[in-house]
Structure formats: structure tokens, C-alpha cells
Amino acid sequence: MMIPLHRRFFVNAMFPVALVGCLLAQGCQPAQPASKSELMPDQPIRALAYRFSQRLSSDGTVPKGALSRALLQREELLRRRPLHAGVFPASWTWLGPGNVGGRVRPIVIHPTNPSIMWTGAVTGGVWKTLDGGASWLPLEDFLPAINIGCMAMHPSEPDTLYIGTGEGFAEWPAGTTNTAFLTGLGMYRSTDGGQNWEHLPSTSGTDFEFINRIAISPENPEVLLIATGTGVFRSTNRGANWTKVYTGFAYDVKFHPTDGTKAMVGLHDDGAAYSTNGGQTWTLASGISGHRTELCYSISNPSTVFAAVSANDRILIYRSTNGGQSFTRRTSGSGISTYSAYNNTLWVDPTNPNTLIVGGVYLYRSTDAGATLNRTFTGVHADMHGIVHHPGFNGSTNRTVYFATDGGVYRTTDSNGSSATALNNNLGITQFYGAVMNPTTGVIVGGTQDNGTKRFNGNPQGWTNTFGGDGGHTAYDRTNSNYFYGEIQWGAIFRSTNGGSSASYIYNSSNPITDAGTSTTNFITHFVVDPNNPNRILVGCRRLWRTNNAKASTTSAVSWEIIKPTIEPLRPEPPNAHFLGSNPYNISTVAIDPSNSDRVYVGYNNGQVWKSANATATSPSWQRVDDAGGPMPERWVSRICFDPNNPNRVFVAFMGWESDNVWQSLDDGATWQSASGSGLVRLPEAPVSALAVHPTEPGWLYAGTDIGLFTSVDYGENWSTLQQGPATVPIDELHFVDSSRLLAVTHGRGIYVATIAPAVDPISPDILSVYFGILKQGGLPWLYLSDDKRVVVQADLNSADVRFPVDLGLLARCPYPSVSELRFRLEASATGLGLGQEIQFWNYSEWRFERVHVQAATTADSVVEVVVTNNPNRFIDPATRRMIARLSWAPDAFETAGTWSVRIDQAYWVAVR
């Protein structure tokens, strides 16, 4: 049953990333998973470096305020245009996974009702459970920033929550000054348990792009401390204003459990610092050295403070017995494994200061205050980010502890034991890189970050494992539903011959892809199966590889050959710093014309685009086309699409927080022009990861960006969006399963499918004009959904014309020059008695308003559906396609006293061709 939708560190080629169970390095082949259910550690630093490089401008930076600017542009589109191209709210279905999870960092538990918990996903928003983690629900899908880094609860008002956005726990390439896709928008606060959130304006600006931790004073909850990417900030009024009290990258901040004058901060490189005046001033602690410091007070003995300190790939434990002023190393040996700043968390048993649980790649327990560490809870997903205990934890009858991991939320009922249970039911935060659906069987195979390659067979809560490691792009055989293809990191292509239930490598055959498993390919490598020949696969590495026998009887018989050499100069120019980990000369995307296999385009990390007109030949010829007739961006090429309605029209999408990220050619690459729109109806300046062209509707485009989905019905001249469907989450791929189904693959909210009905297109108004009355609440975005968010207009009884004390107009543009039927839906109510309600349409043939419906107004919401089948085109301007509806409310008799209002929950047209 389907469920409807209701860092200042460095990464370079020498960084020693340790892989447990799966090593991909030059000269090494990826290890085959030992079992189908094995939890394979990922390579998070490489994954982050990959996504980092994708999103940079040509100069290797991200413009300041890029995320804020893009979201403001999105808001402008919401005010001006509806979502067209057949995608509307009722069309979306979430397919899961509801049983996989994804990366979460904070967990917060209600102090008196521990069945209520909240967690935050790094690209999936805030989630809440009412049943102790048995199931989860998302809160506020369209929060402007849904990359949650931390969360805190008011100690005496558990419905008051704070979230910090941005994920600052990542290594970033040397020579750069900011990250590209994890940037946040400061802090948000909720006073109703997370149902609604307000942005704290005081946390706007670059100082608050990475809020890593929030601490609330135990004695005065008005006082907050936050650790950010630029320092420590202090507020004395719940975040209304802030004072910077420490300068330097801060990862962690903690108040003393009971004394609000004492606090600790965990720093980058400088160890830790302590405060004795509530965080107003700080003094560096002695005895600690390392990259990232996480801190934990011993609740039973708060003068004891522990520090988990990561340096390169190890975590060591330090202890202070004087409240954090000085520390002594406790860990013997080299410590436990970590990916430096990425995964480091520490918990001290509140009843026993000698018992610790430490998380890096895995979980470890110490019973001697950190001197020795032994691995435990081996069933918990790799990469640990948070550990919290149950509010009733007492060390004997209640030893329940929760873990925040790359694979979601886990719980153990015995902190001294070794087993834990996943609590990921309906926690739909999986980060996909790619996925495809077989149109015949409905089976989906998709590659994820740190959760392998997963398979869907109809049950959103029942996804199964196909392959381990970091998943990537996938593809299917159009002629045989048993064949799926996927990859793990760095181009290690595998094949499934049983519908995705299991798979084996084919990249490392007797004639292998020698680029795979090395830096001569991107961390996530793009590959495609020829839609006209299921035996042919093209793989984009530093060079373009091809096999013509992908379905060979044995995997070792699959033969690979190079059909396009590298574009790297004979004397390589040193790559810019922002390409570290992702060489500018690697191929980033490959596209085969569905109607002509000889016609192939490839895009590169540095923005180059090449094409071949004889790609099936033994030695194809290639021509560079990005420098022809238009200044195409020198940014990462994410997707290339052919227009099935016009063989000479080609679309290219680019990454980067810049303008003009979609381009088109009308002459097969000879010249190029922007298809990103202009003015207030342009595509926002956000990375475009995904692009799709409707297979039968000319002009219909779909762009997946880092801030959600956008559509155009006129080849990119104008763009629109809506507060529905996939959230403001990165959309990494868009695929048409067939002409009526669009698959949206997100990096943080799983997978959605939209049912598109081109012949029946809902049309939202794009102008709201109040002729008479006083607008008290709401605006255009509130009119599309039946969601109790109402536009409220109060009657203006002092108006010069009281025939209609509430009289307003709605304007929209029909996407078609003519229709066979025109519908209009209105859901509204009025607070006054004895009111009449009237709907009129502007008749362009007779140049007047024509009444199409009249009834008595109701005090409860009532729905009116007007259907015009007799010459509906008289209500559409033949030149501009404009439509005008006039909505009026008036008392049956003249009325001079009393105040009443009209409440409109939903209003839109439907055009039927």
C-alpha cells in the first residue's frame, strides 16, 4: 500500500580514510559484501567533498547569503505563479523508504512524557514521534532550511523547542572558505511542540550559517549559548539578541547541569574552554589537543567533565576533575576510529561517572572512565552523532539510551548490554543519489548515502537491501525486468539479474573499467543504459567507458572499452582548490538520445559539454559544444536531456548557487541560450541537480534543485513552484517512468512519484485583488490547498459601494489557448448570517462579467464546483490566456451595523483539454 503525502578542516587526496569492510583506493578493488544484510560503513568525508565540489561557483566559492537569496526567490514564485506541468498537490505519493532512516544528529525527549521525542535530519527536517519511536511524522515540510544540525528544549516548557540549521561537522577542502550545501539559515523556535516554527531574525547572516549546538541555562532559560562556525554567541532573551563571546570555530557548548554560571565549549584545534560567569567570558582549558572536541558533564558529579577529542581518524578520551579547567588523557593506545570532525559523540552514565559510551564510526563502552574502550552495540548503523538517555534513566530499572546515527535512530534498553533496536518506522529521511523504477513491475532500485542500494517492491515500509557501501546511480533494462544496474562509490558498477534482490560486480571483469575505484572518477559516477540497446552501458569516469555486452552470461565476460579519451591537458594544469576530491576533468553526466544511440552528450565537472554523432562506432568522434554561441557557465554539469518532441532541442543543467542553471540549444549544440527565465518568474539561483522533459507535452520542464522542485510549461521562459509534493529538500534525480508518472529522487526525504494528467491541469490564481473589503489574513499560496489556512477578508461597511461589502478578483493564466471544459472550485465560509455568495467569470466575447453561480453563504466551509462545458473558451482571453473570477458576498438586505468576514480556504481553476 502506498502512502499519500498528507569543515574548516581539509580534505585532499592524501586524507587517510579508513574503510571497514569496503576499501576503494587506487590499486584495490571494492570488497563484495559478506552478506546481504551487512551494514557497510560509508565514506562520509569523500561523500561530503563530492557534494561540496558540485555546488561551487567557477571561482571555487559560494556567494555569501546564497541560500537565503534562493529561498527569497522561491517565495516570490509562490506569490506569483502556481505549479503547472501537471504536478499538483493531489498527484504526489511518497514511496518511502519508511524502514531505512538516514543521517540524524539531535534527539530530544519530552521530560514527563518520554513517548514524545523529536529528531532532526541533516537534509530532511524535523520529525516527531508520539509512541516512543514506533513511528514518526514530519513537522513543517517547507521550513526554509530543513538541514537540522542541533536541537534543544526549554527545561520547564517542553513544547518550546529550538533548532539550529546547517551541518558544520564536516571537513572541507583546503583553500576554500565555506561549504556549499550544508549551509543553514540560523535558528528557529517553536512554542507548540514543533507544529509551527518561527525564524529568529537575530540569527540571520554568515555568523549563523552553521549552528552546531544550543545550550540553555539550567537556572535561567532566558539565557542561551550557541556554538557556531564563527564562535560562541550568548543571548539573555531567548534568542531575540545575541552577543559574540568567543571567536573561533566551536563544535559543542554545554552548561553545568545545575549551575548556570558554569559552562564549557568544545573547539576546533584549541581543545576546550570554560566559563565561570554564564558564558560571558571564556578561558582555554589545558591538556587537550585535537581537531574536534565534544564535552559531557558527569551529572552525578559535575566537577568531572569528559572530552572526546578527534584528531584525524581517531578519538581519544580526556577527563577533568576540576570542572573543565584542565584535562588529562585517559585513553590508552590509539583510541577509536572516526572520520575526524564528522562523527564524534560522548555520553556519561548519569548514575556512574566511570561508565561512558563513545561514538565514532562505531559505538564503544568504557567502565573505567575512558581508559579502555570496547566495541559494543554492533547492530547499530555506522557513524554516530548523538547519544541521549531516557528521562527516567536510573542505572538499574531504567537503562534506556538512544543513538543518533547515519542510519537513523536506535534504542537500547540496557546501556550495559550489547543490543539495540532501530526506530526508523516511517522516518523518511533517506538520502538518495539516484533511483529508477521499472514501469512494468513498479520495482524501484536506488542508491543511497551510507545505506547501500535499496529495493522497493510496493511497500514503503518494506524496502530491502540490494548491495552495500555508498549507493549511487541506478538503471534498468527496458526489455527484461530482471535486470537492474547500480554502483558503489567511484564507479564500481554491479548488475542484478533477479529484479534487484541481489547483485554482483561487472566493472572488474577480464576487460575492466580501470578508472573505477580511483580518483579518475567522481565519488558518485554517472552511468546510463542505452534505451535502444540493453546490452550497452556508458560510464563517465575521467574517460568515457562502454560495454556492448552488459548481459553477458558471466560477470567476468562483460567487456569494457574507452570510447572517449580524457580532456585533461597533456601537461595537466594544477586543479583549483575547490576541485580537490573531484577532478575538473572527470565526466559528471552522460546522456544518450532515446531515439538515436549514435547521439551522445557528456558533461564535465568543469562545465565542458561534448557530443558525438557516431557514439556506437568503434572509435567515435567528439566535438566540444559548450563554447559555441553562448557563455555557458564553467560549473559542474549535472544533467543533459533531449527533448522527445524536438530532436534538435537539448537541455543542460548546472550546479552552483548562481543564476542561469538551465540552458537549451535549438540546433543540436550549435548555439545556446538560457532557459532559466528572467525577472520574478525565473528559476531561483540554486544548484539544479535534476532535469526532466515531459515525454509528450512540448515545453514542460521539471527542475530538481537544492530547495525543491520547479516546473515550466514554456521551455523555461517562466518557472513556478508550490508548497506541496517533495519538500524544500535537494532533489537529485527526476525520471519519467512513463508519460503519466514522474519519479522524484530526493537527498533527504526518500522517493516520491507524481501522477501527471496533462489533459486535466489545475490552475492557481496568480493575482488576488480585493475590490471591496479589508484583507486581514493570508495570500495567494493559501488558496490552493484545502488545509484550513484561509484568506480572510473583512466586510468594509463604510465603503462607498456597499452592494458587495466583500468583493474580490482572482486572475490566472490558462496554459492552453483553448479547452473543452473549464472548472472552478471554491471552498469558503462567512461569519455573518443572511449573506449571499456569487461567482462571476469575465466573458471576453461580450466584455462583461457573467454570473456562473449564486448561493447562500454558509458559516461552515462549503465547496462550490462550477463546471462550464458550453463554450468555455469565452472565459479565456485569446491573446493572453487570462481568466478572471469575481467572488462577491453581500447581505440579503442593506446592512450598516455589525462586522463579518469571509474565509476562503481554496480557490482554483481546472482546465480540461
CATH number of the domain to which 776 belongs: 2.60.120.200
Buried b (16+ CB within 10 A) or exposed e, 225-260: bbbbbbbbbbbbebbeebeebbebbbbbbbbbeebb
Strand partners, 121: 104, 125
Give the SS3 label for residue 340: coil
651 contacts 658 by C-beta, under 8 angstroms: no
The region, left, alpha or beta by phi > 0 then psi within -120 to 50, assigned to residue 175 is left
Residue whose C-alpha is closest to residue 698's, from 672, 670, 723, 666: 666
184's grid cell:
543553514
> Looking at residue 199, what is its pLDDT?
96
| 724 falls within a domain | no
d(CA 870, CA 866): 12
354's grid cell:
566511570
What are φ and ψ of residue 64, in 5° steps? -65, 140
57's grid cell:
561557483
Burial class from Cβ neighbours inside 10 Å (0-12, 13-18, 19+) for residue 334 reads exposed
d(CA 785, CA 88): 10
d(CA 460, CA 450): 19
Residues of the chain with pLDDT under 70: 1-42, 80-84, 88-90, 171-181, 571-582, 629-630, 797-804, 893-898
Angle in degrees, CA 766, 767, 772, rounded to 5: 150
d(CA 184, CA 205): 10
> Looking at residue 177, what is its pLDDT?
42
Task: Count CB-CB contacts under 10 A for residue 407.
Answer: 26
413's grid cell:
534498553
> Looking at residue 179, what is its pLDDT?
46
> Looking at residue 42, what is its pLDDT?
60
What are φ and ψ of residue 639, in 5° steps? -150, 150
> Looking at residue 89, what is its pLDDT?
59
β-bridge pairing 882-891 and 806-813: antiparallel
Task: Count CB-CB contacts under 10 A for residue 551.
Answer: 19
**What is the count of structural domains for the chain?**
2
| 715 falls within a domain | no
| 688 falls within a domain | no
| 350 falls within a domain | no
896's grid cell:
450598516
346 contacts 330 by C-beta, under 8 angstroms: no
Buried b (16+ CB within 10 A) or exposed e, 880-902: ebbbbbbbbbbbeeebeeeebbb
Q: Looking at 773-876, which runs of residues are DSSP E strands?
A: 774-777, 791-794, 806-813, 821-830, 835-843, 848-856, 862-868
The H or E element containing residue 612 is strand 609-612
| 767 falls within a domain | yes
Cα separation values, 297 from 262, 350, 712, Å: 11, 9, 54
d(CA 184, CA 68): 9
575's grid cell:
586543479
Burial class from Cβ neighbours inside 10 Å (0-12, 13-18, 19+) for residue 571 reads exposed
| 606 falls within a domain | yes
| 21 falls within a domain | yes
| Helices and strands (H, E) in the chain, number of each type | 2, 68
**How far separated are the first and last CA of the chain, in Å rounded?**
31
Range(s) of the domain holding residue 560 = 7-57+468-567+578-624
Give the SS3 label for residue 867: strand
202's grid cell:
537575530
> Looking at residue 583, what is its pLDDT?
85
| 181 falls within a domain | no
Q: Which residue is listed with cell 466583500?
A: 806
Burial class from Cβ neighbours inside 10 Å (0-12, 13-18, 19+) for residue 642 reads buried
Angle in degrees, CA 95, 458, 382, rounded to 5: 60
Half-sphere exposure of 798 (CA within 13 A, CB side): 1
Is the peptide bond prior to 644 cis by the omega test (within 30 degrees of 0)?
no
Task: Count CB-CB contacts under 10 A for residue 321.
Answer: 16
